[in-house]
Amino acid sequence: MSTTTEAPTRRGRPTNPGERVAEWTDGRLGLYKLAKSNLRKVFPDHWSFMLGEVCLYSFVILILTGVYLTLFFHPSMNEVVYNGPYAPLDGVRMSEAYASTMHISFEVRGGLLVRQIHHWAALIFIAAMIVHMMRVFFTGAFRKPRELNWLFGWTLLFLGMFTGFTGYSLPDDLLSGTGVRFMEGAVLSTPIVGTYLSMFLFGGEFPGHDFVGRFYSVHILLLPGLMAGLLVAHLILVFFHKHTQFPGAGKTEKNVVGTPLLPIYTAKAGGFFFLVFGVIAAIAAIATINPIWTMGPYRPDQVSTGAQPDWYMGFSEGLIRVMPGWEIRAWGHTLVLGVFIPLMIFPLVMVAIAVYPFIESWVTGDKSEHHLLDRPRNRPVRTGFGVAWLTLYFVLLIGGGNDLWATHFHLSINAITWFVRVSFFVAPVITFWITKRICLGLQRRDRDKVLHGRESGIIKRLPHGEFIEVHEPLSQQQLHVLTAHAQPQPLDLGPEVDENGVERKVSPVAKVQARLSRGFYGENSQIPKPTVEEYEEITSGHGHH
Amino acid sequence: MKKLSARRRHPLAALVVLLFALAATGGLYAVLAPAPKAQADASQSSLAIEQGKKLYSVGCASCHGQSGQGSSNGPSLVGVGSAAVDFQVSTGRMPAKQPGPQVEAKKNTYGQKEIDQLAAYVASLGPGPATPTKSQYSPANADAAKGGELFRTNCSQCHNFVGKGGALTEGKFAPTLKGIKAKDVYEAMQTGPQNMPSFPDSTMPSDAKANIIAYLKAVDSAQSPNPGGFTLGTIGPVSEGLFAWVFGLGALIALATWVAARTTKAKKS
């Protein structure tokens, strides 16, 4: 800030009123220096780099519409009798939370549209976070120096799931009440402290009078506050680290190739905000979401089939649905393994993906900085792991919707449950293996393309009668893309014996590390890319074969 | 007349008059008095039963036995009542097409008269719930809101919030209630077909059943309001999640690709 005080004397007193306002503001806020260094910041252009923007914009839409909804929502469990315009609920007793949501849906101007925008935006927000996370995962953008930002993003996803869940619970309709009951059951299954925790959460017996008010505070204050903070930190780190880029000619670990923040990138990103808002608003105007009027108010003695959580909690529903109903009774207590085991696996599914960057960096011993992205095929083990995780996630989603799979595909629900139970263990292994093989196949293809060129589809007959297909050599840019990646070698434990012939002591941890490292970068996990010598030998005049 | 009048003081005259009076009363009673329900005679209902038995022998007896006693292929029909027959045959569930987890509704090939005859025969096997009358199942004066509470308490566990149906074990399912005739819904509640529990009048009076029918009509028929737009099936959050992924995120990724493709490099002129 101090540096700007000299400016008027150096350049003279500005005459233009606009300039004067700018001077005045800059002298007090020091915006010029901040802007100068940041407005020309370069961002690379790729559609997959805009997935994070989809998350950011849907978060903004959630806040805007959420504020509107708080103006009319009453987070109260007081019982009232409904006398609103929706006839099939006329005279039904319900909580004030449900009645006010009915009021928003049927009487508040634009209320239903805003409610639907809010809910659709929530589903899309979390879906976009998953896809964004997968983009970062498969391209290796989580590597040093971005591990912390990966954790920030993962925490945003985790918090987003619970923000969504608490929001889903607020209207106190039969569906959301069933979801809260589900959660209460999970809490109760915690050994020893389960009942105390439940009593503490609900202020007494379920459902009690407190939970809507409490969930409301958590939903509109605590979780969004935490998320906003993390989001800012996430963006600051993106700025600080600079954005990653795909490999290509002219792109190195030391530069960023793209468009500057102002004016092009800002115009595109700003325009993209309105596109995102437009798509979500159009969907909200076209399609119903969470039609609480069809569900009726929550009463603990009622339940409906098709009672599922929103999709992002679907995998926890699947865990519960396919888990056998085991329980242990001892010393007058019951340990409900049928619920407690899924409750333990639920965070593990999420944590498995969260800790992956640290595991990979430990296994491969890679501690260097990376700003160029990996092509997923060049890291078969990582890609395989990602696909295996997605498979596990999707298998659990099938379990969570087993009743709808049964009715819509005319299957037995028991068969689906068994399919999910077996697939939970088997499918990730199979998809890991298949993905790894596909990656290796693609690497072989890349190698062939580099050495022999692109298959042109032109068949040529040689004078002596032989038919050959003409291969076109790749351009330098294409060759660069296919060969720029590093091919690390597995960790080497060194010789088994030292110079005196005595067996060296190697810790078992190091042995495990070396074995895993061979799994990552050994002969079976990557195809050696063509060397310069190979390329020159094959292109040096022997021509096509 | 003179002969008769001359003998009117005869000592046996009173006896003769009494005999005539008794014969007339008995005869009139025999002609005019309503026959007891269980009694079979040559009236219209017994004709229907006879016809029904013929239809029964052709369409039903192979599984339910020659006289409705049941077999390894089908349950006994003694005491199921005419309402059950009317429901099963008019929705095409019976005669069953093939064995399976559940007998499904199909096109009904019987006329209403034939169904009534079959129902009369089966009802004659033992007392059971009778086919309801229009005044019983008509939702005209019923309370949809009360019906909604009853529906959520008793029916939505299997049939979903608004009667879209749902899955049961081993490939069985609760069918959708959309577009089902009020009479069929009433009869299903009364008789509890297949996996459904029955809700006889002793536990759910007929006006409560009519309320439920009114609720179904209010929330899931061509006339019911859908203020939110397309309903996506009203089957809960699964279809919403699928829609959000395919159309929401799908559209946004398409747009992102479009925006990213519009680079400054694109302008080459």
**Residues B90 and B115 both lie in one domain:** yes
- For the segment A465-471, the average pLDDT, to the nearest whole number, is 90
Is B210 domain-assigned? yes
Q: pLDDT tens for residues A357-397?
A: 999 999 888 888 899 999 999 999 999 999 999 999 999 99
Determine contact: B84 vs chain A, CB below 8 A.
Answer: no
User: What local confidence, expressed as pLDDT, does residue B264 receive?
Assistant: 63
**Domain range summary for chain A, segments of one domain joined by +:** 2-38, 42-374, 441-491+505-539
User: What local confidence, expressed as pLDDT, does residue B241 receive?
Assistant: 94
User: What local confidence, expressed as pLDDT, does residue A542 receive?
Assistant: 54
Q: Which of residues 197-256 of B touch A (CB under 8 A)?
A: 215, 218-219, 226-232, 234-245, 247-249, 251-253, 255-256
pLDDT by residue for chain B (269 residues), tens digit each?
A: 677 777 778 888 889 999 999 999 999 988 887 665 555 555 677 888 888 888 998 888 888 988 888 888 888 999 898 999 999 999 999 888 888 888 888 898 888 889 998 899 998 888 888 889 888 888 888 899 999 999 999 999 999 998 999 999 888 999 999 888 999 999 999 999 988 999 998 999 989 999 999 999 988 877 788 888 898 888 889 999 999 999 999 999 999 999 888 766 544 44
**Residues B65 and B114 both lie in one domain:** yes
Determine contact: A261 vs chain B, CB below 8 A.
Answer: no
Verify whether the Cβ–Cβ distance A287 to B157 is below 8 Å.
Answer: no
Range of the domain at B159: 134-219
User: What local confidence, expressed as pLDDT, does residue B265 receive?
Assistant: 58
User: What local confidence, expressed as pLDDT, does residue A520 receive?
Assistant: 87
Among the candidates B81, B101, B124, a domain finishes at B124
Verify whether the Cβ–Cβ distance B171 to A53 is below 8 Å.
Answer: no
Is B95 domain-assigned? yes
Is B159 domain-assigned? yes
Pick from A299, A305, A312: which is nearest to B158 by CB?
A305
Using CA atoms, how far apart are residues A272 and A253, in angstroms rounded to an integer?
Answer: 28
Determine contact: A173 vs chain B, CB below 8 A.
Answer: no
Ranges of beta strands (E only) in A70-164 are 79-81, 93-95
User: What local confidence, expressed as pLDDT, does residue A156 receive?
Assistant: 96
Pick from B153, B174, B251: which is nearest to A279 by CB?
B251
B157 vs A contacts (CB less than 8 Å) = 303-305
Q: pLDDT category, A333, cuts 50, 70, 90? A: confident
**Residues B98 and B171 both lie in one domain:** no
**Residues B139 and B110 both lie in one domain:** no
Residue B75: count of CB within 10 angstroms of its CB: 13
Q: pLDDT category, A10, cuts 50, 70, 90? A: low
At A212, list the tokens.
Answer: 């809507």
User: What local confidence, expressed as pLDDT, does residue B43 receive?
Assistant: 65
Is B34 domain-assigned? no
Q: pLDDT category, A437, cuts 50, 70, 90? A: very high
Among the candidates B124, B143, B160, a domain finishes at B124
Comparing CA positions, the residue from A436, A423, A434, A429 lying closest to residue A382 is: A436
Is B194 domain-assigned? yes
What 3-state class would DSSP assign to A475? coil
Using CA atoms, how far apart are residues B186 and B192, in angstroms rounded to an integer?
Answer: 10
Pick from B153, B231, B237: which is nearest to A309 by CB?
B237
Q: pLDDT tens for residues A50-99?
A: 999 999 999 999 999 999 999 999 999 999 999 989 989 999 999 999 99
The chain-wide mean pLDDT, for chain A, equals 89
Q: pLDDT category, A2, cuts 50, 70, 90? A: very low
pTM over 0.80: yes
Whether pLDDT at A166 is above 60: yes
Tell me the CA distances in angstroms from B225 to A114, B1, B18, B217, one per residue in order.
19, 83, 74, 11
Is B89 domain-assigned? yes
Q: pLDDT category, A1, cuts 50, 70, 90? A: very low
Q: pLDDT tens for residues A292-323?
A: 999 999 999 999 998 899 999 999 999 999 99
**Residues B54 and B117 both lie in one domain:** yes
Tell me the CA distances in angstroms from A542 to A153, A395, A478, one per residue in order.
52, 52, 22
User: What local confidence, expressed as pLDDT, does residue A4 receive?
Assistant: 45
Pair B83, B128: CB distance under 8 Å = yes
User: What local confidence, expressed as pLDDT, does residue B269 receive?
Assistant: 46
Q: Which residue shows structure tokens 């025999």?
A: B30
B221 vs A contacts (CB less than 8 Å) = none
Q: pLDDT category, A253, cuts 50, 70, 90? A: confident
Q: Which residues contact A48 (CB under 8 A, 6 or more apart)?
A: A135, A139, B256
User: What local confidence, expressed as pLDDT, does residue B149 receive?
Assistant: 92
User: What local confidence, expressed as pLDDT, does residue A11 receive?
Assistant: 56
Quote the percentage of chain A above a pLDDT of 70. 97
Report the CATH number of the A42-374 domain. Answer: 1.20.810.10
Q: Which residues contact B18 (CB under 8 A, 6 or more apart)?
A: none
Among the candidates B181, B198, B219, a domain finishes at B219
Which residue blocks in A170-322 are alpha helix, DSSP H? Answer: 174-188, 194-202, 211-217, 223-241, 266-286, 292-295, 314-322
Q: pLDDT tens for residues A479-488?
A: 888 888 888 8
- How many domains does chain B contain in total? 2
Looking up residue B51, the CATH number of its domain turns out to be 1.10.760.10
Verify whether the Cβ–Cβ distance A413 to B169 is below 8 Å.
Answer: yes
Tell me: ipTM over 0.85: yes
Specify the range with the lowest mean pLDDT, choosing from A162-166, A290-294, A422-426, B217-221.
B217-221
